[in-house]
A and B are shown apart, each in its own frame.
Chain A
Amino acid sequence: MKPVIGITASLDKDQVINDRSYAISVEKAGGIPVILPPLRGLAQLESVLSRIDGLILSGGQDLSPFLYDQEPHEKTSPFSDRRDAYEIELYRLARDKKLPVLAICRGLQLVNVVHGGSLIQDIVAQRPGSLEHVKPNVSVTSHRITTADDSLMREALGETAVINSLHHQCIDQVGEGLRVTATSSDEMIEALETDHLIAVQFHPERLHEQAAFLAIFEDLIRRAK
């Protein structure tokens, strides 16, 4: 059987939703996608993880700034304590088990916070002069990143790549144990890695038709086998 990849989902009013591109990318890369709705209780997460071979922490709304000891900035969007708690616990357990993880956009920010790092709550307000990181159409590429030597980012994307971008928050202090493996020209952190994690600030799921971005999913599937 192919590796089963669990994908976390967003809450949108009375619905649980997940951009189809995630499941399509996983399937195209050779995995079996399942969507993990944010549960209300955390006691059964071991059981959730026991059945999956890899985890994707998906994009979505801002994290609660209280998680990194800040008060909300006026530009911070409404956050979900339920989703935050669910994904944080899922990531912690996955890390303990060394389960392969791919964290995307919000996922990268969440991983950074779990590792003790912090976020800039609004790039435009708090880091003026940055590139435009909120492109309304995330299916088109936006700006260039440079990857680090001997990283999985380098392997997938080469020395530089033009990526898409849809985030108004970003990493400030990098969490402990995380290696920065891609940055943009305004010194924005675009990717982090550990031995079982790739975290990216951009959206490879929306560029899966390009081999370089699908390779990020293929790498997850390979590690999940």
Chain B
Amino acid sequence: MKHVGVVCYTRAATGPDKVIYNSQEDRLIELLEKNDILPVMIPITSLEDLSDYLAWLDGLVLAGQTDVSPFFYGEEPTAQTGPLDLELDQFEMTLLRLAIDRLPVLGIERGAQLINVAGGGSLSPINSRIIHHGEGVCYHSLSNRRSSFMGQLYGARLIVSSRHRYGLSEIAKDLKWSAKAADGLIEAFEHSTKPIWGVQFPLHQLSDDLSCPLIRAFRQRL
């Protein structure tokens, strides 16, 4: 059985003692388990033992919705930037840089943005006729590149839900785009030589019919 680490995000609760939780979406856990992967959540710790985590795991999933601090790609936050979590950024970025040469990595939403930034790419706030973020659930279509994992799994076109304020601006040099929205924004990519994939859309919010094939493809590379 393959063990995949899913990095937690932190969530502060109210109450007199202000508990902070290491958290992850249950649906993502369900989806991994459903496809014969054992999900283990990686808490945010100091940066000392990160190599040990990687030695212990067969693959890594980065997910979440917090914006990546623009400082990591040489920009400043704007009025559109959501609340930042610098500690989480530092932890995930350090873990990811170590993981890139050692483990298969799947980045979902924030996770995809981290992979792009770790590879030297950049992000920018979205200003588009296509709605990528709204109050309720919003959807848009993707055009998949035929030769990419997206094209192979989903054919030419896929409708996805969307909930991101930032998008890829420059793609990292070792990454190739795999799907784009109708405004040209890159919504999925893959590494040119390594088992590393990124999807900007919330994969785990899709139905099983649509989400399971990608998770199974990931599992085959573990």
> Taking A16-B23, A23-B45, A138-B17 as contacts, is the C-beta distance between A35 and B8 under 8 angstroms?
yes
A27 CB–B CB distance under 8 Å: yes
Residues of B close to A1: CB separation below 8 A: 52, 55-56
Q: Chain A residues near B23 (CB, 8 Å)?
A: 12, 15-18
Chain A residues with Cβ under 8 A from B38's Cβ? 39, 44, 47-48
Q: How many residues of A contact B (CB 8 A)?
A: 37
Determine if A212 is an interface residue (Cβ-Cβ < 8 Å).
no
Closest to B50 in A: A32
Quick one: which of B1, B29, B46 contacts A27, CB cutoff 8 A?
Answer: B46
Q: Are A20 and B10 in contact (CB under 8 A)?
A: yes
Residues 17-61 of A contacting B (Cβ, < 8 Å)? 17-21, 23-24, 27, 32-37, 39-41, 44, 47-48, 51
Q: Give every chain A residue within 8 A of B185 (Cβ-Cβ).
A: none
Cβ of A36 to closest chain B Cβ, rounded Å: 7
Residue of B nearest to A45 (CB): B38
Residues of B close to A7: CB separation below 8 A: 43
B215 shortest CB reach to chain A, Å:
15
Interface presence of A129 (CB below 8 A): no
Contacts A15-B11, A20-B10, A48-B38 hold; do A35 and B22 have CB atoms under 8 A apart? yes
Contacts across chains A and B counted by CB atoms under 8 Å: 108
Dominant SS among interface residues on chain A: mixed
Let me know if B22 and A2 touch, CB within 8 A. Answer: no
The residue on A at minimum CB distance from B34 is A40
Known: A39-B33, A51-B3. A23 touches B16 (CB 8 A): no
Cα distance, A47 to B200, chains bound together (Å) = 31
* CA A21 to CA B44, docked complex, whole Å: 11
CB distance from B32 to the nearest CB of A (A): 9
Q: B45 contacts which chain A residues (CB < 8 A)?
A: 23-24, 27, 33
Take A2-B49, A16-B24 as given contacts and tell me if A23 and B43 are in contact as well, using a CB distance cutoff of 8 Å: yes
How far is it, in angstroms, between the C-alpha of A34 and the C-alpha of B26 when the chains are bound? Answer: 16
Determine whether A163 belongs to the interface, using a CB cutoff of 8 Å to chain B: no
Bound CA–CA A105/B40 (angstroms): 23
A58 to B15, CA, bound (A): 19
Asked, given contacts A9-B41, A44-B38, whether A37 binds B24 with beta carbons under 8 Å apart, the answer is yes
Least CB distance, B51 to chain A, in whole angstroms: 9
In the complex, the answer to whether B17 meets A36 with C-beta atoms within 8 Å is: no
Residues of A within 8 A of B (CB): 1-2, 4, 6-7, 9, 11-12, 14-21, 23-24, 27, 32-37, 39-41, 44, 47-48, 51, 136-139, 206
Chain B residues near A (Cβ < 8 Å)? 1, 3, 5, 8, 10-11, 15-17, 19-27, 29-30, 33, 38-46, 49, 52-53, 55-56
Extra inter-chain contacts (6) besides given A12-B23, A15-B25, A41-B33, CB under 8 Å = A34-B42, A34-B43, A36-B40, A37-B39, A39-B38, A136-B17
